[in-house]
Amino acid sequence: MHYDTRTNKHGLAHDPFKALIVPRPLGWISTLSTKGALNLAPYSFFNAVSDRPKMVMFSSVGKKDSLINIEETGEFVCSIVSSTLREAMNMSSAPVNRHVDEFALSGVTPAASFYVKPPRVAEAPAALECRCWKIEPLPVPEGATEPSYWMVLGEVVGIYIDEAYITNGMFDLAMVQPLARLGYMDYSVVNAGSMFTLNRPKLKDGGESASLIPGPWDGSYR
Ligand SMILES: Cc1cc2nc3c(=O)[nH]c(=O)nc-3n(C[C@H](O)[C@H](O)[C@H](O)COP(=O)(O)O)c2cc1C
């Protein structure tokens, strides 16, 4: 099958777009309003976009509380969602009124950040402290008069890692078991059974060809 996304007539039970780009990491975004109201919500249109400087993005359909708070204060924190936090993460997505604190609603604990005012989720294995770099409206959809989505790009100015999740100098993903979003209402978990290593190909003959390197990681990024 093939279809034109401007009409979006795919003929399927549900729009397949989000099921095609999987798994998507979750940014559990915490913010503060200028009045000091705490806010927490998960975003799966979320990813790292650069590591020099370290930058992340998320996008909001409509001007939700997280976006409004970032417009006001320029700061946010992305806590990493482990599998054990799935219910709290889901509860924090409830579209409650702006003054409602989703930390309390979902039963997680705010812990002070180092470089920004919004707290991280204390129960999360890691968190990225971010300063907003840019908020960019995405293109106005066919037939609409204003954008549906706003993309927030933030520079990661500080990183918290719970040292219980560091093994042999590495963030132990088999222990963290990060949650990821699939399509529809489905999720996936990274765990020891779903992880494997591939070394990058090694160039040969001055770049004319390349060879694969089997076995465990040889320690090179190439
Ligand atoms: C796993 C998950 C991922 C989500 N991803 C997004 C997203 O990428 N963009 C978005 O606008 N809403 C997303 N939502 C919905 C928001 O979390 C929800 O609308 C929430 O109430 C927004 O909170 P806020 O108004 O406090 O920012 C997601 C919800 C869940 C459960």
In a domain, 102, yes or no: yes
100 vs 81, 92, 95, 141, 193, CA distance in Å? 21, 10, 10, 31, 39
pTM of the predicted protein model: 0.97
In a domain, 180, yes or no: yes
Q: How many domains does the chain have?
A: 1
**Mean per-residue pLDDT over the chain, rounded:** 97
In a domain, 65, yes or no: yes
| pLDDT per position as a tens digit, 89-147 | 999 999 999 999 999 999 999 999 999 999 999 999 999 999 999 999 999 998 899 99
In a domain, 6, yes or no: no
How much distance in Å is there from the Cα of 60 to the middle of ligand 1?
Answer: 7
In a domain, 33, yes or no: yes
In a domain, 74, yes or no: yes
The protein residue whose alpha carbon is closest to atom 16 in ligand 1 is: 93
Q: Do strands 126-137 and 24-25 pair parallel, antiparallel, or not at all (unpaired)?
A: unpaired
Whether 65 is in the pocket of ligand 1, judged by its Cβ within 6 Å, is yes
Domain span including residue 139: 17-195
The pLDDT, as a whole number, for residue 132 is 98
- The CATH number of whichever domain residue 174 belongs to comes to 2.30.110.10
